């Protein structure tokens, strides 16, 4: 019997560059592996550290990194783990094995979020139009992560530098968010 080899295709709701102005650019980011870890206590933190050499974030807005994996604080018992899509299965298996005897939930949400990068001198101003958070450079510094709203969509916002941000929104809100960002950038064109 002949096996057919094929690459599955995914029609992303937002692809490539959304808008490019002299002071702000918005573009879609490649799909990344994303896992939501729900658990409490030091035992799960020790298990993740042993499996991945990754410290779990300890407080609001915290983000930790190790070996290409990021851990983002989403709540007192919830962490969003982000890695390259090619690392996803190994990351999930390593945590599953290390935490096998611990009460926890580990769910693949890679297809739940679409990520966009907002970059440039006016990136903060564009985001401030739709995010009810203090976007001042002294308050929202590199490595800060928050779960928030982007207009009417739930979102995760990460500071990736002084003028670079990653906005993660649910797949079904991606076109809505991209269009709001595009329109919000027009004044800087």
How would you write the pLDDT of the chain (189 residues) with one tens digit per residue? 445 454 444 555 667 778 889 999 999 999 999 999 999 889 999 999 999 999 999 999 999 999 999 999 999 999 999 999 999 999 999 999 999 999 999 999 998 999 999 999 999 999 999 999 999 999 999 999 999 999 999 999 999 999 999 999 999 899 899 999 999 999 887
The pLDDT value given to residue 12: 56
- Within the chain, which residue ranges are assigned CATH 3.30.70.1520? 33-108
Q: Would you state the CATH architecture of domain 17-30+112-188? A: 2-Layer Sandwich (3.30)
Whether the pTM exceeds 0.95: the reply is no
What b/e sequence results for 72-108 when a residue is b if at least 16 CB atoms lie within 10 Å of its CB, and e otherwise? bbbeeeebbbbbeeebbeebbebbeebbeeeebebee
33-108, CATH topology level: Alpha-Beta Plaits (3.30.70)
The whole-angstrom separation of Cα 116 and Cα 75 is 22
């Amino acid at each position: 019997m002949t096996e057919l080899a094929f690459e599955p295709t995914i029609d992303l709701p937002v692809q490539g560059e959304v808008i490019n102005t002299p002071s702000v650019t918005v573009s879609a980011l490649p799909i990344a592996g994303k896992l939501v870890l729900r658990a409490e206590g030091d035992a799960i933190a020790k298990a993740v550290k042993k499996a991945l050499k990754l410290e779990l974030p300890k407080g609001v807005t915290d983000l930790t990194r190790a070996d290409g994996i990021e851990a983002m604080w989403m709540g007192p018992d919830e962490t969003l783990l982000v890695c390259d899509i090619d690392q996803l299965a190994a990351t999930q298996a390593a945590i599953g094995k290390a935490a096998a005897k611990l009460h926890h939930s580990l769910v693949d949400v890679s297809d739940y979020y679409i990520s966009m990068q907002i970059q440039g001198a006016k990136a903060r101003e564009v985001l401030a139009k739709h995010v009810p958070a203090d976007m001042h450079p002294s308050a929202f510094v590199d490595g800060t992560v928050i779960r928030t709203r982007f207009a009417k969509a739930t979102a995760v916002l990460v500071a990736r530098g002084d003028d670079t941000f990653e906005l993660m929104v649910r797949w079904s809100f991606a076109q809505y968010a991209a269009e709001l960002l595009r329109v919000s950038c027009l004044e800087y064109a």
